[in-house]
Amino acid sequence: MHSVGLTINLIYKFLGSTKEKIPAIGIGTWAIDRNGIEAIRYFIEHDSGLIDTAEMYGTEGIVAESIKGYDRSKVFIIDKVWTNHLSHDACIKACEASLRRLGTSYIDLYLVHWPSYEVPISETMRAFEELVDAGKVRHIGVSNFSIEQFEEAQASLKRTELVANEIKFNIIEKRQAMEFIEYAKKSKITVIAYSPLVRGIENISTSKGVYAKLLELSNKYNKTVAQIALNWVISHEQVVAIPKTSKLEHAKENLEAANFNLSEKEIKELDSMGSV
Ligand SMILES: NC(=O)c1ccc[n+]([C@@H]2O[C@H](COP(=O)([O-])OP(=O)(O)OC[C@H]3O[C@@H](n4cnc5c(N)ncnc54)[C@H](OP(=O)(O)O)[C@@H]3O)[C@@H](O)[C@H]2O)c1
């Protein structure tokens, strides 16, 4: 997949227990604007077309426009069904509507956006398996699920495995995610880290100790604070990150965040700091 002459050090990770690999750094699209089209295309053109969207974001149209003209196999689309569409029929319809908005015939990874207290997960999983059978969805997973909720969803599946859980994981908010990551390592589940930049660098700077450490590492490796924060996220086994950006220069910066390796000691030190 690597392009000739590329200086970006691309890292790929296995998707769940499959033999398929996905980029360790992709792009999120929550609150992305039309300037983000250029940023998304930069990712696709650099063999990192991992794009995260959701029916709730209202950004599937932007994704559709961004991927137009590219070989579909260069793009890996993550989409999510919202909580008001988790009954069997609503879920099938929601997926079909997402496909229409995306202008594509399949979603690479379809996720339940949040667990529901109203619809039994087995009902949604039945719809998910039918979507896989129909070729509308290639892989399935969940988002914001605890280990118990993940296991309940997996247990209700008859012929498919959940490959991923998309959860919040960043340099400040990590305690809960760490627990799932430990489980994911043993069970070969991909963890898709959302808000990997704490929704903006200004939110990292409020945590003085963490920010000081990031600045120190930023000087040592000649990388930006965002690149150190992202590198730390993907240094964890099973974890890929989907930082959002509408800016081309940030897209470049984010993709280059894998160009160096933090030491084991530095990773451990950051692991133990400022955890919420
Ligand atoms: N499953 C879920 O429930 C869930 C929840 C939240 C988010 N998500 C997904 O995860 C994605 C990422 O999370 P997020 O949007 O919450 O936050 P995030 O990726 O942690 O942070 C995005 C913010 O960081 C800025 N940024 C990006 N790259 C930067 C860089 N190199 N230097 C400085 N600033 C930079 C962006 O601004 P610019 O645009 O100006 O670059 C934006 O303000 C979302 O877009 C969405 O796809 C999923």
- pLDDT for the residue numbered 274: 72
252: three-class secondary structure by DSSP: helix
**Counting atoms of ligand 1 from 1, which one is nearest the CA of 36?**
39
- pLDDT for the residue numbered 4: 43
The residue nearest atom 19 of ligand 1, judged by CA position, is: 243
**Ligand 1: residues within 6 Å at CB?**
28-30, 52, 113, 143-144, 166, 194-201, 226, 242-247, 250, 253-254
CA of 203 to the centre of ligand 1 (A): 12
Instruction: Give residue-wise pLDDT tens across range 108-166.
Output: 999 999 999 999 999 999 999 999 999 999 999 999 999 999 999 999 999 999 999 99
Say whether pTM exceeds 0.75.
yes
Q: Could you tell me which CATH class the domain 12-198+233-261 is placed in?
A: alpha beta
Distance of alpha carbon 135 from alpha carbon 141, whole angstroms: 16
CA of 246 to the centre of ligand 1 (A): 9
Instruction: Identify the segments of the chain with pLDDT beneath 50.
Output: 1-5
Which candidate, 131, 64, 71, places its Cα nearest to that of 101?
Answer: 64
**Counting atoms of ligand 1 from 1, which one is nearest the CA of 32?**
39
Q: Are 204 and 228 in contact (CB under 8 A)?
A: no
Mutate to test the pocket of ligand 1, among 42, 168, 194 (most ligand atoms within 8 A of CB): 194
Q: What share of the chain is helix, strand, coil (3-state, %, to 5)?
A: 45, 20, 35
Q: Are 112 and 153 in contact (CB under 8 A)?
A: yes
Instruction: Give residue-wise pLDDT tens across range 161-189.
Output: 999 999 999 999 999 999 999 999 999 99
CA dihedral 128, 73, 56, 153 (to 10 degrees): 30
Domain ranges of the chain: 12-198+233-261
Label residue 195 left, alpha or beta by phi (over 0 means left) and psi (-120 to 50 means alpha): left
Catalogue the long-range contacts made by 60-66 (C-beta closer than 8 Å, 24 or more residues apart). Answer: 60/98, 60/101, 60/102, 61/101, 62/29, 62/32, 62/33, 62/34, 62/36, 62/37, 63/29, 63/102, 64/101, 64/102, 64/103, 64/104, 65/37, 66/36, 66/37, 66/40, 66/41
- pLDDT for the residue numbered 147: 98
CA of 194 to the centre of ligand 1 (A): 7
- pLDDT for the residue numbered 276: 75
- pLDDT for the residue numbered 1: 41
